[in-house]
Structure 1
Amino acid sequence: MKPIHQNPHFTITHLTIEQPLIHKEPEGDTFEQHILILTPEKASNESPVFFILGGETTISEKRLAKLYKNYGSPPEVIFIYAEHRGYGKSISQQQDQSIPHYVNTRQALADFHQAILHLKEKYTGIWMAAGYSYAGGLVIDFARRYSEDVKAILSSSGVVDWYFTMDAYDKGVRRIFGDALYQRTEKHIHNLTPEKLFDRNWLEREFLIAIIHGISQYKKYKPLFHLFKYLTFFSTKTLLKTLHILDRLFADNQAWKYAKANAKLQLTREEALTMDYQWRTWRFQQCNETGVFEVSAEGKGIFPRTQEDFIAECQALFGEEQPRALKKRWALKSIINRLEVPLVYVAGELDPWQALGARRNLRHKRYTYFFIPGAYHCPDSVNPKLGKRVLDVLLQYAKNR
């Protein structure tokens, strides 16, 4: 393990674990899974461990340090952040990454399981696991498959209803935007109707949808929401020109990277390692397994694509065998009540994903549901007071199991 970040309160170290691409074929090809470990100054190897399942993005020291702070900076809890296969630097050695067959939930969960077994040789305290958004669904599936690995789990805004297409997100955006803003935005989306797949209008529409995601889901973009509301009164050309400037200034071009990634037909390993195309990997997962493509609840709306449109996009990007997700759904909702592991779930009132998350009233005997009025996506990860409350409940479950 290599120390990469130190301050008076904690140290962050980095390590890699060699994982098989297919766990049933351990002698086959492998990749290196990247893991970050934050050890507080007062922690020991016997301290509790908060193990974070990586989701559809890279892991980073900055993100890990912020999570530690937003859970109250517990002086004796070790935070471990494990990267999801196919994201960040945790990718296969194959030069052609265009169709990342090795990226799927079952193999990713097996990675996390093997990582925990390896790390438990050193860290012998009680273990808890956590996941956010997509990984909030992963952690529930993890607890079903590997119930002996951890004593309790946290699912923050975890999605449990994985339909191929869904209008829940659109309904959430309608509620957040209100009728007038929604209708103005719908006109701009209509003005960007593409003539063919992945043309300039398609890219700009995907860019605008990425902006809608950001200002709908995340509290940090709330100031931009009010500016977006004002900009929708102007022409589509002016709206896009200004949004591209804002994307560069405040979001490191993430919205434009989202659009370009979802239209990229071929991907090399070198391109994947730039981390500019991670949304393409998530699009593969959507086509192959998870679904949750956004459609509008009424009329064309701001998500005007149909199931047939998404099928065509999946096949153009990943081949004629896609979308497999249309034939077999990743079903998590039905397993929650059968979990042996205590579950803490956190939901935000203003989160567009909330309708696809866990419900307040479940039969699970060791279940705590935090519903936060006025909050957005994964609210415990950005609010230290709430984060501390959530971690306290999780620790109590873990210590009593």
Structure 2
Amino acid sequence: MRFYIYAFLCCVWWDVTFGARRIKLGLGEPNSPETRNAQPVVDYWFQQKLDHFNPTDKRTWKQRYQINQDFYKSGGPVFLMIGGEGKMSSKWINSGAWIEYAEEFNALCFQLEHRFYGDSHPTEDASTANLVYLSSEQALADLAEFIVGMKAKYNIPPESKWIAFGGSYPGSLAAWLRMKYPHLVHAAVSSSGPLLAKIDFYEYYKVVEDALSTYKPACVTQIKLANQMLNAIIKSGKEIKYINKKFKLCDPLDRNNKKDVSNLFESLADNFAEIVQYNKDNRKSNMTDTNAIITLETLCDIMTNESIVSPLEKYAAVNDRMLSSNNLTCTDYVYEKEVNILKNVSWESSAASSRQWTYQTCTEFGFYQTSNQDEHVFGNKNPVNFFTDMCVDVYGEKFNTDLLAKGVDRTNWMYGELNIKETRVVYVHGSVDPWHALGITRTKTVNTAAIYIVGTAHCANMYPSATTDLPQLTKARIAIKAFLSDWLTISDDLDSTNQETVRFDSK
């Protein structure tokens, strides 16, 4: 199975042979504007506490951050880009919509790498015992300590307003940071952030189905037929060699190994989910070679190609296209291989970040994208226990469904899920992005905004402006800038009484 991990915010998009591809979050690197002569990026290190909630623990570590002072003028705000579950990309310190806003508002810009990801290593390795210090709560405290530290180090005036930016998981962190530390953060832009922790995230594939159906209803019909045919072959035991060959499996399929079968179904479903979630999002990887761009239209055109008679043959053709685009020769799907790689505690492991992020899903969030109904488009081989079993298999017996349920409940009551109480946060979501199902797309609180962009995907508003942007995406970026302009004129102890829900579509 080909698992990919997508770094959640200002971080780089990466992939490994195995990883937590089933938890699809994050964004890619921005396409740097050719007209901007950015200064070389320097890494700096901030001494951070290991455990913010134990005053007797004096251990510290070095957290990586970067700074952009190109547009800063005295009296300007401070922008903070929050890192997510991947290595921090230097490209984001010089590019992206937030940098365009920084130029407009003369802002000083920082980006901070998330603990346990990239080069920010709080402990000697990523053992399960050490991962107890990995949580969203510790990450938020890191951000608070960082803000206080940067104010002192760079002599930032106390009246300067800090604005937090984040996309995907860091989009959630941006909103939570504003809620938990309002005296430090004046406002926040939360892009594609899931605020509702949920173990069984069955809505994910419903959004994927809707996006594919909107382009071509026949596409969904063919996908469903292909999965039914695949299931019938595996169930009967006949023509297994055909499946091995057609889907280029790295290892022969054992139809009696339920977890391998589930992994295979999940991998093939992810061929579509990956493309839908990031459809036409202007990532750097999608800007360099127009011939290599794969969209949901590309895959649906294959699935509705009448020159290929069998739906299963079409499904295999989509898999071929995805293998080729990722420079892979075969489909790796063996469950035990994945578990063994995720058990590697070394920082040098190719799946280091996926081990960390999987841990967070097993203890805080869930977010498992299930497909377990008999009539499900992508089959019924991925019930929630398929995902929760991996928590036990990777981290040990105590990481069971009971611990996860308590962790998810704690996340929701600690942050307020979709009833979060805060002000001066703009929530941005795209209709094609499945994660909007766990986010805020309508506001009910004073001085908070929700922007819903029809036709855009995950974190699309965060990338640099481009001539190819949909008109509604351009309007959304303008609206975000308008909210920032308004909020930057408001003092910390005052709030206006407006509330906004803005929907941008192609009309």
TM-score norm. by structure 2 comes to: 0.68
Q: 2:378 aligns with which of 299, 302, 306?
A: 302
Assess, with a 3 A threshold, how the Cα gap between structure 1 residues 203 and 71 changes in structure 2: closer, same or farther.
farther
Count matched residues.
386
Partner of residue 396, structure 2: 319
Partner of residue 285, structure 1: 360
2:325 aligned with 1:246, yes or no? Answer: yes
Superposed, which structure 2 residues align to 1:49-128 within 5 Å?
A: 49-68=78-97, 71-72=100-101, 74=103, 76-97=106-127, 100-121=131-152, 122=154, 123-124=156-157, 125-128=160-163
1:214 and 1:293 map into 2 onto residues whose CA distance is 15
- Tell me if the contact between 1:333 and 1:358 (Cα under 8 Å) persists in the aligned partners: no
Describe the SS at the equivalent of 1:355: helix
CA drift at 1:248: 2.6
Assess, with a 3 A threshold, how the Cα gap between structure 1 residues 176 and 237 changes in structure 2: closer, same or farther.
closer
Gaps in structure 1 of 5+ consecutive residues = none
2:462 aligned with 1:381, yes or no? Answer: yes
Partner of residue 347, structure 1: 429
CA drift at 1:10: 5.3
Assess, with a 3 A threshold, how the Cα gap between structure 1 residues 373 and 94 changes in structure 2: closer, same or farther.
same
Superposed, which structure 2 residues align to 1:215-294 within 5 Å?
A: 215-218=275-278, 219-220=280-281, 223-232=294-303, 233=311, 234=313, 237-248=316-327, 264-272=341-349, 274=350, 276-294=351-369
Assess, with a 3 A threshold, how the Cα gap between structure 1 residues 318 and 207 changes in structure 2: closer, same or farther.
same
Describe the SS at the equivalent of 1:399: coil
Partner of residue 486, structure 2: 396
Deviates more, 1:389-398 or 1:161-170: 389-398
State the Cα deviation string for residues 345-375 of structure 1 (Å, max 9, x = none).
112122211121114131x211122221212
Partner of residue 421, structure 2: 338
Paired letter, 1:358: I
1:262 and 1:210 map into 2 onto residues whose CA distance is 19
2:149 and 2:167 map into 1 onto residues whose CA distance is 23
Describe the SS at the equivalent of 2:371: coil
Paired letter, 2:50: L
State the Cα deviation string for residues 207-241 of structure 1 (Å, max 9, x = none).
43443332111124673323322444426554433
Assess, with a 3 A threshold, how the Cα gap between structure 1 residues 46 and 262 changes in structure 2: closer, same or farther.
farther
1:135 and 1:19 map into 2 onto residues whose CA distance is 19
1:375 and 1:50 map into 2 onto residues whose CA distance is 25
- Tell me if the contact between 1:38 and 1:64 (Cα under 8 Å) persists in the aligned partners: yes
1:223 and 1:102 map into 2 onto residues whose CA distance is 38
Superposed, which structure 2 residues align to 1:138-217 within 5 Å?
A: 138-178=173-213, 179-186=217-224, 191=230, 195-196=256-257, 199=260, 201=261, 204-217=264-277
- Tell me if the contact between 1:261 and 1:280 (Cα under 8 Å) persists in the aligned partners: no
Q: 2:438 aligns with which of 312, 336, 356?
A: 356
Query: Aligned-pair RMSD on alpha carbons?
Result: 3.3
- Tell me if the contact between 1:22 and 1:107 (Cα under 8 Å) persists in the aligned partners: yes
Deviates more, 1:349-358 or 1:69-78: 69-78
Assess, with a 3 A threshold, how the Cα gap between structure 1 residues 135 and 89 changes in structure 2: closer, same or farther.
same
- Tell me if the contact between 2:345 and 2:352 (Cα under 8 Å) persists in the aligned partners: no
CA drift at 1:181: 2.5
Describe the SS at the equivalent of 2:341: coil
Gaps in structure 2 of 5+ consecutive residues = 1-31, 235-254, 287-292, 304-310, 466-473, 492-507
Paired letter, 1:240: N
Paired letter, 2:300: K
State the Cα deviation string for residues 116-149 of structure 1 (Å, max 9, x = none).
1111222333211122112222222222221111
- Tell me if the contact between 1:127 and 1:149 (Cα under 8 Å) persists in the aligned partners: yes
1:303 and 1:359 map into 2 onto residues whose CA distance is 29
State the Cα deviation string for residues 144-188 of structure 1 (Å, max 9, x = none).
221111111111121111111122211101101125333433455
Sequence identity (%): 22
Assess, with a 3 A threshold, how the Cα gap between structure 1 residues 71 and 349 changes in structure 2: closer, same or farther.
farther
1:211 and 1:70 map into 2 onto residues whose CA distance is 32
Partner of residue 25, structure 1: 54
